[in-house]
C-alpha cells in the first residue's frame, strides 16, 4: 500500500442534535473530509422513496445517535487537532446539547481501500427537475431535458446527494437565469458552482478556504468543460470581486449567520441568498437573523433533519 495515501479516520458517535456543533468543531481543524451517518435521515429516505442513490440500511439498527467520520492526513499537527476535538466535544454539553454516546476513536485507513468501498454504491442520481449527478466512473444515458454534472468527489468531499446539497440544487434550478452571476461560498467539490454554470449562469465563482477543495473543484470544472466558472482559494467572500445575483452557501448555521454582513456587501439588491446546512431546529433562528439583516425569506424547505432557506435581499432596514 502507498503510505502517502494513508488517512487518519476520526469516528465520533454522538446524537443527531449534536451534528451541527461537531461539524463546527471540525471546521476549525485541518479536516480534509467529513461524512455523516444519521439514522434519522435514513428513516426519512426509507419513508420517502425516490431517486436516492444509496443508503446503508444497517444504520437502521442504530436506534439513537449519529456517526460522524472525519479524515485527516497524518502529520505533526494531528495530535493537536484530536486534543482540540476531544476537549471541544466534551464542552458542548455545557451548552445544553445532548452528546449521545460521546465516543471518539481514531483509526488508520488507506485511501484506495476507502474509495473501493464506497464507489460501488455511488450511482447517477437525479436531483431536482433536471440535474443529474453522475460519478465519472459510471455510464448514464441522459433523458430529454437532463442536465448531467460529471463529478469526481474524491475522498474529501460529498457526492451531491445529501439533503443540504439537494435543496440547494433545487433552489438553483428555480432562481438561476441566463444573465445571473452566482457566488458559491464553501464550494467543496464545486458541485453547486458547476450546477449554476450548467444552468447557463453568465458568471460563476466558487470559493473555498481549503486548498484540497479548490483542487477538487478545479478538476471537476475541467471534467464538465465549463468556461463560465472560476474557482478561488480564500477566506469566504474576501477574495470575490463584484456583486452577485445569487449567493449560495451550504455550510452550517453559525457560519451562515457569521457571514451575513459580507454577503450583503456582494449581493445585488433583489438578489437571492440560498443557505443550507442548517439543522431544522435552527431554521427559525437563521430566518430571523436574515430578516434582521435586510433579507426577506422567500422559502424555507426541510428534508430529513436539514433545512435550506432562500432569502431575497431587500436592502438595509431603516
What total of structural domains would you count in the chain? Answer: 2
Residues 205 and 107 in one domain: no
Indicate whether 107 and 178 sit together in one domain.
Answer: no
- At 64 the pLDDT is 56
pLDDT grade, residue 48 (50/70/90)? very low
Q: Same structural domain for residues 105 and 169?
A: no
Do 109 and 219 lie in one domain? The reply is: no
- Record the pTM: 0.72
pLDDT class of 1 with cuts at 50, 70, 90: very low
Per the prediction, the chain carries an average pLDDT of: 83
Query: Considering only 52-61, 192-201, 222-231, which range has the smallest mean pLDDT?
Result: 52-61
The answer to whether residue 128 is domain-embedded is no
- Do residues 172 and 303 both lie within one domain? yes
Distance CA 150, CA 73 (A): 27
Residue 284 lies in a domain: yes
Is 67 part of a structural domain of the chain? Answer: yes
- Same domain? For 46 and 186 the reply is no
Is 301 a domain residue?
yes
* pLDDT > 60? residue 56: no
H/E stretch holding 34 reads strand 33-37
Distance set, CA 69 to CA 46, 66, 91, 295, 306 (Å): 22, 10, 19, 35, 18
Query: Does residue 170 fall inside a structural domain?
Result: yes
> What is the domain range of residue 281?
162-313
Residues 144, 142: Cα–Cα separation, whole Å: 7
Is 239 part of a structural domain of the chain? yes
Report yes or no: 206 and 230 within 8 Å, Cβ to Cβ. Answer: yes
* Statement: residue 206 has pLDDT above 80: yes
Which of 49, 80, 114 is a domain's end point?
114
Residues whose CB falls within 8 Å of the CB of residue 164, separated by 6 or more in sequence, listed in order: 250, 276, 277, 278, 306, 308
Indicate whether 171 and 309 sit together in one domain: yes
Q: For residue 148, tell me if it sits in a domain.
A: no
Do residue 173 and residue 108 come from a single domain? no
Q: Would you say the C-alpha torsion 258, 261, 262, 267 has a positive or negative sign? A: positive
Query: In terms of domains, do 172 and 105 share one?
Result: no
- pLDDT class of 117 with cuts at 50, 70, 90: low
pLDDT at 58 over 70: no
CATH of the domain at 22: 3.30.70.120
Same domain, 306 and 180: yes
Position 137 in a domain:
no
CB of 157 closer than 8 Å to CB of 216: yes
pLDDT by residue (tens digit) across 170-186? 999 999 999 999 999 98
Contact 271, 244 (CB under 8 A): yes
Q: Do 191 and 94 lie in a common domain?
A: no
Q: Are residues 281 and 176 in the same domain?
A: yes
Banded model confidence at residue 307, pLDDT cuts 50, 70, 90: very high
d(CA 16, CA 123): 26
- Residue 115 pLDDT grade (very low, low, confident, very high; cuts 50, 70, 90): low
* Single residue among 114, 139, 170 that ends a domain in this structure: 114
Top-confidence range, 21-25, 80-84, 108-112, 157-161: 80-84
Amino acid at each position: 500500500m502507498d503510505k502517502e495515501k494513508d488517512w487518519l479516520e476520526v469516528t465520533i458517535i454522538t446524537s443527531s442534535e449534536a451534528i451541527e456543533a461537531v461539524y463546527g468543531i471540525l471546521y476549525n481543524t485541518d479536516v480534509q473530509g467529513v461524512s455523516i451517518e444519521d439514522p434519522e435521515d435514513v428513516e426519512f429516505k426509507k419513508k420517502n422513496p425516490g431517486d436516492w442513490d444509496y443508503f446503508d440500511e444497517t444504520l437502521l439498527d442504530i436506534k439513537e445517535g449519529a456517526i460522524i467520520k472525519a479524515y485527516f492526513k497524518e502529520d505533526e499537527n494531528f495530535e493537536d487537532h484530536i486534543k482540540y476535538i476531544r476537549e471541544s466535544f466534551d464542552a458542548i454539553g455545557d451548552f445544553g446539547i445532548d452528546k449521545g454516546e460521546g465516543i471518539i476513536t481514531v483509526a488508520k485507513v488507506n485511501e484506495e481501500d476507502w474509495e473501493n468501498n464506497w464507489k460501488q454504491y455511488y450511482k447517477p442520481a437525479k436531483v431536482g427537475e433536471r440535474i443529474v449527478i453522475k460519478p465519472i466512473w459510471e455510464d448514464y444515458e441522459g433523458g430529454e431535458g437532463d442536465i448531467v454534472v460529471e463529478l469526481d468527489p474524491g475522498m474529501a468531499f460529498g457526492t451531491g446527494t445529501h439533503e443540504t446539497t439537494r435543496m440547494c440544487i433545487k433552489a438553483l434550478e428555480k432562481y438561476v437565469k441566463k444573465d445571473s452571476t452566482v457566488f458559491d461560498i464553501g464550494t467543496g467539490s464545486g458541485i453547486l458552482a458547476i450546477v449554476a454554470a450548467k444552468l447557463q449562469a453568465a458568471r460563476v465563482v466558487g470559493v473555498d478556504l481549503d486548498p484540497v477543495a479548490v483542487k477538487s473543484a478545479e478538476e471537476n470544472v475541467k471534467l464538465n468543460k465549463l468556461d463560465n466558472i472560476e474557482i478561488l482559494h480564500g477566506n469566504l467572500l474576501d477574495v470575490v470581486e463584484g456583486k452577485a445575483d445569487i449567493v449560495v452557501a451550504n455550510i452550517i448555521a453559525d457560519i451562515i449567520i457569521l457571514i451575513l454582513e459580507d454577503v450583503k456587501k456582494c449581493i445585488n439588491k433583489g438578489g437571492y441568498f440560498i443557505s443550507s446546512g442548517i439543522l431544522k431546529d435552527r431554521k427559525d433562528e437563521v430566518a430571523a437573523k436574515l430578516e434582521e439583516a435586510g433579507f426577506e425569506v422567500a422559502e424555507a424547505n426541510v428534508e430529513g433533519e436539514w433545512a435550506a432557506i432562500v432569502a431575497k435581499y431587500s436592502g438595509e432596514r431603516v
